[in-house]
């Protein structure tokens, strides 16, 4: 009889220990979880000191925290990962994000502005574009720790909007480029042309439209500051190994050359856009292929044939 009680007491004691252990583990996990307050404190370090906190949006894997700088009339949105407990991206936009009718700054000056703002830039591409009658400088850049893009007013030098993502960009190094590939090195000013000449050239090319399908021997790839089709494909395949690239085209959008295309892997289809100068993936969309729609279409076709 005593042995039965002893066994029962042992089981009870063991169960109690297990409950305590589970409670300790749960409390540890909860204590390690990133709170909204902690996320806001992390985000605050990436915006101006006078920026006022506005709101926090919580999702399953991240926090999105909004700040507003009343002095510069600029909104910031900071994304913080719950898993890594680090800032993933910082987006900013001025209330007045319009360009200018005049261009007083050269590409080289814009490069200096961006390098001063985002310390550590190692590669940068700058293009002058015209949107709704106003000029803007659009830039893409990267460093060892972040990559992103920005729009700059060509008269005031103000950064109208920017998007910075922390981490290493999915890019295959371009052997044809210098490590610090400033577009200013290829600026038309280096050929003796004036800033007005550069503006004229940009406005004439605004209506050039698509550059057609990219091929390995496409003349559009002759520029030394543009990655090849093969490298663009390698960038995609590095992100989704084993995928099939259905098509890839070299396009010109707002004065910036990009590779656009589609790829498939399994039951998913991917639409991608790659900056042809920096090699940074500027657009990425993943959709599941709906085979049911195709089956229904086939059934409808068969019904029409039967009729």
pLDDT cut 90: percent of the chain above it = 44
Class assignment of domain 208-291? Answer: alpha beta
**Euclidean distance between CA atoms 21 and 112, whole angstroms:** 57
**Euclidean distance between CA atoms 158 and 115, whole angstroms:** 13
Give the domain ranges of the chain: 1-32, 36-204, 208-291
**Euclidean distance between CA atoms 297 and 290, whole angstroms:** 11
Task: Share the mean pLDDT of the chain.
Answer: 76
Cβ contact 292:271 at 8 Å: no
197 pLDDT more than 70:
no
According to the model, what pLDDT value does residue 173 have?
40
Q: What is the mean pLDDT of residues 280-291?
A: 83
Q: Can you name the residues that pair with 245 across neighbouring β-strands?
A: 263
For 123-168, the pLDDT digits (tens) are 999 999 988 889 999 999 999 999 999 999 999 999 999 999 998 7
Q: What is the mean pLDDT of residues 103-112?
A: 96
According to the model, what pLDDT value does residue 59 have?
87
With cut-offs at 50, 70 and 90, classify the pLDDT of residue 267: confident
Report the phi/psi class of residue 100: left, alpha or beta, with left for phi > 0 and alpha for psi in -120 to 50.
beta
**Euclidean distance between CA atoms 64 and 43, whole angstroms:** 9
206 CB neighbour count, 10 Å cutoff: 13
């Amino acid at each position: 009889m005593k042995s039965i009680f002893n066994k029962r007491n042992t089981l009870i004691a063991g169960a109690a220990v297990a409950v305590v252990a589970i409670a300790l583990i749960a409390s540890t996990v909860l204590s390690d979880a990133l709170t909204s307050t902690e996320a806001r404190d992390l985000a605050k370090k990436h915006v101006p000191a006078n920026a006022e906190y506005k709101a926090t949006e919580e999702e399953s894997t991240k926090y999105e925290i909004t700040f507003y700088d009343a002095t510069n009339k600029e909104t910031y949105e900071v994304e913080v990962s719950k898993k890594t407990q680090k800032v993933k991206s910082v987006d900013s936009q001025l209330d007045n994000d319009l360009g200018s009718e005049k261009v007083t700054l050269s590409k080289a000056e814009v490069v200096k502005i961006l390098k001063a703002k985002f310390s550590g830039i190692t590669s940068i591409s700058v293009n002058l574009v015209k949107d709704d009658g106003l000029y803007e400088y659009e830039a893409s850049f990267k460093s060892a720790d972040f990559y992103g893009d920005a729009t700059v007013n060509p008269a005031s030098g103000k950064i109208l909007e920017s998007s910075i993502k922390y981490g290493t960009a999915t890019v295959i190094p371009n052997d044809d480029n210098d490590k610090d590939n400033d577009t200013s090195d290829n600026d038309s000013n280096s050929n003796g042309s004036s800033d007005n000449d550069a503006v004229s050239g940009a406005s004439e090319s605004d209506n050039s439209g698509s550059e057609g399908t990219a091929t390995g021997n496409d003349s559009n790839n002759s520029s030394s500051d543009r990655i090849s089709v093969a490298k663009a494909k390698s960038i995609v395949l590095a992100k989704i190994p084993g995928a099939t690239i259905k098509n890839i085209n070299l396009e010109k959008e707002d004065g910036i050359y990009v590779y656009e295309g589609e790829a498939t892997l399994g039951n998913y289809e991917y639409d991608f856009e790659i900056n042809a100068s920096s090699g940074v993936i500027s657009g990425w969309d993943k959709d599941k292929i709906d085979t049911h729609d195709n089956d229904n279409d086939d059934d409808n076709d068969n019904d029409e044939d039967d009729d």
